């Protein structure tokens, strides 16, 4: 009886796992869109948190508020603003895509083409956005008027 159980166990036992040479994630664009959606959501949340805090300073001490706002007027913060606009735009566009995938009966079938459409729209909107957002900073850094 014991031998029968042992024989049965050995025939159903899984083979030993081969050593992994790659990550579990294979780099599919859908996976990266999911990662980017989470990162842009968290980044937007933290911006809103800081924004509420610094705006609340106006009620506590208007002079302190003015000093804080003056520290934001530098090229690094201008680049961060561009990143914020890019994050919010991607998060919004991808959110629409996610809703279509979830609620449109053909959404799952067209999820990959919709991803490339939102990436295209993001690029088309961001190119002039970057230009207009950085124009003054570049002009000031290069000594223009």
> Could you give the CA distance from residue 111 to residue 123 in angstroms, rounded to a whole number?
18
pLDDT, mean of residues 128-139: 93
> Could you give the CA distance from residue 33 to residue 39 in angstroms, rounded to a whole number?
10
Is residue 25 pLDDT above 70, yes or no? no
Tokens at 6, concatenated: 């042992």
> Could you give the CA distance from residue 81 to residue 55 in angstroms, rounded to a whole number?
16
Within a domain: 105 = yes
Within a domain: 93 = yes
Within a domain: 4 = no
pLDDT of res. 143: 82
Is residue 65 pLDDT above 60, yes or no? yes
Is residue 5 pLDDT above 80, yes or no? no
Within a domain: 102 = yes
**pLDDT band at residue 26 under the 50/70/90 scheme:** confident
Identify the CATH number of the domain in which residue 106 sits: 1.20.1300
Is residue 126 pLDDT above 90, yes or no? yes
Within a domain: 2 = no
For the chain, the domain total comes to 1
Within a domain: 19 = no
Which residue range forms the structural domain that includes residue 59? 28-141
Q: Which residue has the tokens 């579990």?
A: 24
**pLDDT band at residue 120 under the 50/70/90 scheme:** very high
Cβ partners under 8 Å of residue 140, min gap 6:
75
Within a domain: 21 = no
The proportion of the chain whose per-residue pLDDT surpasses 70, expressed as a percent, equals 82
> Could you give the CA distance from residue 77 to residue 82 in angstroms, rounded to a whole number?
9
91-101 residue pLDDT tens: 999 999 999 99
- Residue 107: is it exposed, middle or buried by C-beta count within 10 angstroms (0-12/13-18/19+)? middle
Within a domain: 5 = no
pLDDT of res. 3: 59
**C-alpha 50: how far from chain center:** 18
- Residue 97: is it exposed, middle or buried by C-beta count within 10 angstroms (0-12/13-18/19+)? buried
């Amino acid at each position: 009886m014991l031998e029968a159980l042992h024989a049965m166990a050995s025939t159903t036992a899984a083979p030993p796992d081969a050593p992994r040479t790659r990550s579990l994630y294979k780099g599919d664009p859908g996976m990266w869109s999911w990662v980017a959606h989470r990162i842009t959501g968290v980044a937007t949340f933290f911006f809103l948190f800081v924004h509420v805090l610094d705006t609340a300073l106006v009620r506590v001490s208007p002079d302190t508020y003015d000093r804080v706002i003056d520290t934001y007027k530098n090229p690094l913060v201008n680049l961060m603003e561009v990143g914020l606009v890019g994050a919010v735009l991607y998060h919004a566009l991808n959110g629409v895509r996610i809703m279509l995938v979830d609620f449109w009966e053909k959404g799952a079938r067209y999820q990959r083409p919709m991803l490339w459409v939102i990436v295209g729209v993001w690029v088309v909107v961001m190119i002039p956005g970057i230009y207009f957002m950085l124009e003054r900073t570049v002009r000031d850094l290069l000594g223009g008027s």
